[in-house]
Amino acid sequence: MKKLLIIGYVWPEPTSSAAGTRMMQLIDFFLMENYEVHFATTTTRTVFVPELEGLGIITKAIELNSPSFDSYIEDLQPDIVLFDRFMMEEQFSWRVDQFCPAALKILDTEDLHFIRKARHSAYKENKDPKEIYLSSEIAKREIASIYRCDLSLIISEVEMQLLSTEFNIPESLLLYLPFMLKEITSKEIDTLSGFNERKDFISIGNFLHEPNRNAVLILKEKIWPMIRKQLPEANLHIYGAYPSEKIFKLNDPKNGFLVHGRAENAEKEMKKARICLAPLQFGAGLKGKLIQAMQCGTPTVTTEVGAEGIPGNLPWDGVIENDPEKFSDAAVKLYLDESEWKIVQTCGFEIINSRFSAETFRKEFQKKLQILDRLPGHREKNFIGAMLRHHLHRSTYFMARFIEEKNKTAG
């Protein structure tokens, strides 16, 4: 049986974030491919992590800058090592190369961090993100990590295009792998609550993620007052994991702005709402909250950033609007128009079934993993990656050894 080692940035929490859902989809893929799956991370496990061991996954707590990882991976000898975000590749890839050099190295980017950060800075400074990311340190680090790996999983077609055109990364090093979702059947659609059985608006998102915090502030300060003025009986329900005290202070029952914090069952709450609101101003990757809304038959009003990479050439399951006033008017109109609501709801089902088919993308992933059978030749064609590995390994090696010795002295 082949072995997969996942080095996690954090433990997966599928009920807290799209990143957690994505990780569980990857784990499910490798279990279906009959891999022995190992998950290792340096972080503390929370109560929101699913029972991985019950799925047959072998878990391991590891340490940064510790020789204990060397003996661990040398004994394990995985066939594939999957790094959860580029920071894990920076920390551990040189040790992987040293103690199991034949392992296929995969980077799951989740989203391109340098794009997300550049867009955040551009939003605050009123600049073009390109002005920022082309000279940013994080862009250099993340692109270097992509080159050092044998394969990088890219969740958005927009990001695939950017990596190919702006950074000239060879197609052989990349795989477009979005969310892998099961088909929404007509039987499932028939069980969903209809227009008249639903009420109110919903907004959901992990509050550790700055784009989500910013979106809630925009809802509170700009958008919701305009919606509430036209719909005085409507409420907006705000859900999200890890809310701060600042977020809870936005709670305003008198004006229908209800901050709940973490949803015990996000899907259940989404299915109750008539409209999902997501006025995202910056970010990257695919927005899991909007994917989930489509699965739940809940039309959405969002921005161009929110919808990016999701519909392709298909019509959106609601409205895409950047201007706060137009956003608010569109939300009110859709909330009251049963006929249009049903039409755009169907658009969401079509997007899920035609754009995110688990069966289709699992086959693509299976095909790409054949790199494992011709790994030496694959690596020979990636001279830039070999060069970057050489320089990172030397610098990281000496830094790690320095920290190890320092830790021994401190102990």
Residue type present at position 393: H
Beta bridge partners of 107: 83, 152
pTM above 0.85, yes or no: yes
Backbone angles phi, psi at 277, to 5 degrees: -110, 135
Domains (range + CATH), the chain = 3-180+358-410 (3.40.50.2000), 186-355 (3.40.50.2000)
In what helix (H) or strand (E) does residue 94 lie, and over which residues does it extend?
Answer: helix 86-99
Backbone angles phi, psi at 6, to 5 degrees: -100, 125
The Cα 30–Cα 9 span in angstroms is: 19
The Cα 181–Cα 64 span in angstroms is: 34
Which residues lie below 8 Å from residue 165, measured CB to CB, with a gap of 6+?
Answer: none
Residue type present at position 11: W
Cβ–Cβ under 8 Å, residues 359 and 316: no
In what helix (H) or strand (E) does residue 80 lie, and over which residues does it extend?
Answer: strand 80-84
Which residues lie below 8 Å from residue 354, measured CB to CB, with a gap of 6+?
Answer: 314
Distance from chain centroid for Cα 44:
20
Over the stretch 294-310, which tens digit does the pLDDT of each residue have? 999 999 999 999 999 99
Is 279 in a helix, a strand, or coil? coil
The Cα 326–Cα 381 span in angstroms is: 50
Is 139 in a helix, a strand, or coil? helix
pLDDT tens, residue order, the chain (411 aa): 999 999 999 999 998 889 999 999 999 999 999 999 999 999 999 999 999 999 999 999 999 888 899 999 999 999 999 999 999 999 999 999 999 999 999 999 999 999 999 999 989 888 888 888 888 899 999 999 999 999 999 999 999 999 999 999 999 999 999 999 999 999 999 999 999 999 999 999 999 999 999 999 999 999 999 999 999 999 999 999 999 999 999 999 999 999 999 999 999 999 999 999 999 999 999 999 999 999 999 999 999 999 999 999 999 999 999 999 999 999 999 999 999 999 999 999 999 999 999 999 999 999 999 999 999 999 999 998 888 887 776 666 666 666 666 666 665
